[in-house]
């Protein structure tokens, strides 16, 4: 028996991911030409933003060498903002993203100075911070203006390109600080696939089948109807490929054979998902109808705080009807 639990710890590109990656790479290159910049990339959870940051840091973060360096160091670094951060916590998270640590009693000014020195000495060009929405969550010890001022100062003092990734509510930080808003580049939106859009439906199906093909190429037998499951997975995920990937990873960790069954997927879903109604989609005899599919997408967008302007009767129906 082969251990397949790591098979999906790989990047499976898909259309929405590639669009966001292209936009992000273009923005980074333009920011470099202008001596640094702030690039927000926002979207609902489990759309693939973290994987996007990993990829752009890998593709655009060249290795640089300097006097006294033992090994070349990447010019792009990646980290995350912790929950409910203070001003000091925010700077510590940036310092850690650069690969440095500090003692708890170190002052905020000292940490900030160390960040600026590290960026200059190590030739760092890109810092990508994930979970930036933590800056404005309930309990955070930061104001919108202070958060924006910290990011703006970092870019102004160092010329680094700062990628800020998080949930859509982080846009409030940008909108709430006129100087940051003037400094920030256009926000890149990374959204789920919309069932009401035919091209999106096809792109989601292609992404899911790419995942299936990857498993079969690695000698995993898929013991389920792939067309049927792909359709149900849309309703379960609301069009988020990252959530599908999470579910399949969970299912692989539970299987004891060189095959993946619908039972494995159901079992993993019952553990991974809070909403029992979502898990029920994998058990129901009837396929989800179009209204259920669009409603699933609408719920994801609304949970993320994104406004929807319905462009189809299906979207209008999903917005005006109560969940089944």
pLDDT for 141? 85
Rounded CA gap, 41 and 48, in Å?
11
Closest CA relative to residue 49, chosen from 165, 168, 207: 165
pLDDT for 315? 59
| Confidence check: pLDDT of 116 > 60 | yes
Domain with CATH 3.40.50.300 in the chain: 15-189
Closest CA relative to residue 268, chosen from 12, 44, 5: 5
For residue 216, name the pLDDT band (cuts at 50, 70, 90): very high
| Residues 15-189, CATH architecture | 3-Layer(aba) Sandwich (3.40)
Token reading at 312: 């189809």
pLDDT for 11? 76
* Residue range 257-266, pLDDT digits in tens: 788 999 999 9
* Residue range 79-112, pLDDT digits in tens: 999 999 999 999 999 999 999 999 989 999 999 9
pLDDT for 1? 43
State the pTM of this model. 0.87
Please tell me which residue, 236 or 313, carries the higher pLDDT value. 236
DSSP structure class, residue 134: G
Average pLDDT over residues 250-262: 86
Q: What is the dihedral of CA 72, 74, 77, 78, to 10 degrees?
A: -110
| Confidence check: pLDDT of 49 > 90 | yes
pLDDT for 69? 47
């Amino acid at each position: 028996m082969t251990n397949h639990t790591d098979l999906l710890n790989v990047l499976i590109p898909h259309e929405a991911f590639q669009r966001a990656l292209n936009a992000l790479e273009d923005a980074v290159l333009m920011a470099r030409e202008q001596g640094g910049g702030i690039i927000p990339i926002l979207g609902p959870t489990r759309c693939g933003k973290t994987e996007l940051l990993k990829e752009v840091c890998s593709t655009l973060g060249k290795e640089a060498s300097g006097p006294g360096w033992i090994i070349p160091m990447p010019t792009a670094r990646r980290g995350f903002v912790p929950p409910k951060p203070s001003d000091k916590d925010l700077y510590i998270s940036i310092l850690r993203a650069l690969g440095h640590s500090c003692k708890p009693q170190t002052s905020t000014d000292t940490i900030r100075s160390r960040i600026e020195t590290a960026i200059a000495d190590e030739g760092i060009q890109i810092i990508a911070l994930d979970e930036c929405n933590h800056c404005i969550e309930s309990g955070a010890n930061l104001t919108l203006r202070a958060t924006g001022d910290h990011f703006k100062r970092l870019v102004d003092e160092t010329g680094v390109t700062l990628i800020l990734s998080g949930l859509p509510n982080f846009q409030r930080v940008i909108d709430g600080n006129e100087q940051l808003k003037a400094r920030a580049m256009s926000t890149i939106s990374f959204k789920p696939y919309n069932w009401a859009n035919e091209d999106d439906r096809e792109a989601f199906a292609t992404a899911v089948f790419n995942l299936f093909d990857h498993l079969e190429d690695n000698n995993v037998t898929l013991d389920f109807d792939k067309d049927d499951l792909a359709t149900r997975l849309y309703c379960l995920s609301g069009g988020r490929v990252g959530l599908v990937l999470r579910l399949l990873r969970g299912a692989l960790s539970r299987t004891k054979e060189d095959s993946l069954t619908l039972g494995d997927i159901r079992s993993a879903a019952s553990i991974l998902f809070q909403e029992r109604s979502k898990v029920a989609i994998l058990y129901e005899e009837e396929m989800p109808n179009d209204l259920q599919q669009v409603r699933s997408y609408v719920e994801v967008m609304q949970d993320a705080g994104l406004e929807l302007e319905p462009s189809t009767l299906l979207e209008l129906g999903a917005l005006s009807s109560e969940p089944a």
